[in-house]
A = this chain, B = another copy of it.
Amino acid sequence: MSESSQAKPRSSPKRELLLDTAFRLFYAHGYHAVGIDTILAEAGVAKMTLYNHFKSKDELIVAALERRSSEISDDKLKALAKVSSEPLSQIEALFDWMDVWFRMPDFNGCAFLKAIAEYTDDDSPINQTVKKHKAASIASLIDLCQELDVPDPKNLAQQIFLLLEGSIIQAHTFGNADAAKLGKNAATTLIQAAKASPS
C-alpha cells in the first residue's frame, strides 16, 4: 500500500453529482419519501458507487445537508457584502436574501427544518447537523445585533430570528413570498424600538 493510496477522496465528480441529486430530491419530496434507487436513477450512478462514498443513507443526508449549509453561508456572505456594512443594512439584507430565495421556482421551505421534522431523535447525526446549521445562523445574527446600539442585542437577535424562521414557514405553507418583506418591516420596527429604549 503506497502512501498515495488514501481512503476516499473528499471530493470527486460522482460524489458531487450524488450530493446534488440527493439534496434536490430530498428537498422536493422529503427524506423518507425518496429512496436510494430513485437518487441513483436520477443521477445515473451505480449503487456501489454511492455506498463507496457514503456508508449509509443517513450519512448521505448529513453530507447533503452540510454541503447545503456551506452553500447558504457563502451565498449569504456574498449578498451581505454587496450592501453597506452598517448593521441595520446587513440585517435588512438578510430579509432581502430570503425574499430572493422565496421567489425561486424550486423554493420548497427549509431543508433543515424538514430534516429535523423527519428525524426526531435528538442525538441522531441528521438532527445534530440541523441544530448546528441553525445555531450558526443565530450566532451571526447576534454578531450583527451587537454592532447596534441597543441594550440587549442578544435578545433582539433572537426576536429577529423568530421573524426569519416565521417568514420561511409562512412563505412555504402559503406560497407567500411577501413574507420576507413582512418580516423585514417587523424587524426594523423591533430595532427602532430597541434603539429608543433606555440602555
Chain A contact residues, CB within 8 Å of chain B: 28-30, 32-33, 108-109, 113-114, 116-120, 130-131, 134-135, 155, 158-159, 161-167, 169-170, 172-174, 179, 182-183, 185-186, 189-190, 192-193
Interface of chain A: mostly helix, strand, loop or mixed: helix
Other 5 A-B pairs with CB < 8 A, given A32-B32, A117-B117, A159-B182: A113-B173, A158-B182, A165-B170, A169-B169, A189-B189
Provide the residues of chain B in CB contact with A185, threshold 8 Å.
155, 159
What are the residues of chain B within 8 A of A170 when measuring CB–CB?
158, 161-162, 165
- Which B residues are CB-close (under 8 A) to A113? 113, 117, 169, 173
3 tightest CB-CB pairs across the interface, nearest first? A162-B166, A32-B32, A166-B166
In the bound complex, residues from chain B placing their C-beta under 8 Å from that of A159 are: 163, 182-183, 185-186
Query: How far is the CB of A123 from the nearest CB of chain B, in Å?
Result: 13
Complex-state Cα separation, A170 to B116, whole angstroms:
12
In the bound complex, do residue B114 and residue A117 qualify as a contact, i.e. CB atoms below 8 Å apart?
Answer: yes
- Is there contact, CB below 8 Å, between B166 and A182? no
Contact, CB under 8 Å: A162 / B183? yes
In the assembled complex, the CB of A160 is this many whole angstroms from the nearest CB of chain B, namely 8
Given contacts A33-B32, A120-B30, A120-B108, contact A131 B162 (CB under 8 A): no
